[in-house]
Amino acid sequence: MTARPTLTWRHWLALGLFLAFVFAVSALGSVFTLDKIPGWYATLAKPWFNPPPWVFGPAWTILYVLMAVAAWRVWLRPAAASRRQALIWFAVQLAFNGVWTPVFFGLESPRLALAVIVALLISLAVAVRRFFAVDGPAGWMLVPYLAWVGFAALLNGAIVALN
């Protein structure tokens, strides 16, 4: 196993930047959801397994922290093609993550959002596999996110079917 470097202020700064980056995606999403949840979203038929709205904020906060720390752990590893590929796939899935909310809530299009979340799920599965290849704990940090996105895809599909 490759030894981890001694963490310097630059390493901690990088963690801060990873956190800022993933939470910027979250902030973008909240711009599109705040007015829609009590309005348009409340009018949609939802499946019996739809969580109450208050669950989403804490769940996503935990997941975004785990995502940022996982990406940071991969970034800390020595430069290699595997590290670069893992971080590229992380960025790809994060882009799909950032697009889903404006599509679902902003465009009020659960059907188009379903296509986006399927792309998110696929790119995230690739990212998780790549993370495991570089840093096992980082891969495990993405597993709850993968499970949540799988659940969200199921929920999105059910909303499409019911509406």
Could you read off the pLDDT of 24-47 as tens digits, one per residue? 998 888 888 888 888 999 999 999
* Nearest to 29, CA basis, from 127, 90, 113, 115: 113
Nearest-10 crossing angle of helices 56-76, 81-101: 160
**pLDDT range class, residue 2, cuts 50, 70, 90:** low
Q: CB of 76 within 8 A of CB of 5?
A: yes
Give residue 29's pLDDT. 82
The pLDDT tens digits for 123-159 are: 999 999 999 999 999 999 999 999 999 999 999 999 9
Angle, to 10 degrees, between the axis of helix 110-134 and the axis of helix 81-101? 160
pLDDT of residue 6: 84
User: Class for domain 9-162, per CATH?
Assistant: mainly alpha
Q: Minimum mean pLDDT among 36-45, 89-98, 110-119: which range? A: 36-45
**3-state SS string over 7-21?**
CCHHHHHHHHHHHHH
Per domain, the residue ranges of the chain are 9-162
pTM for this one? 0.90
Q: How far apart are CA 23 and CA 29, in angstroms?
A: 10
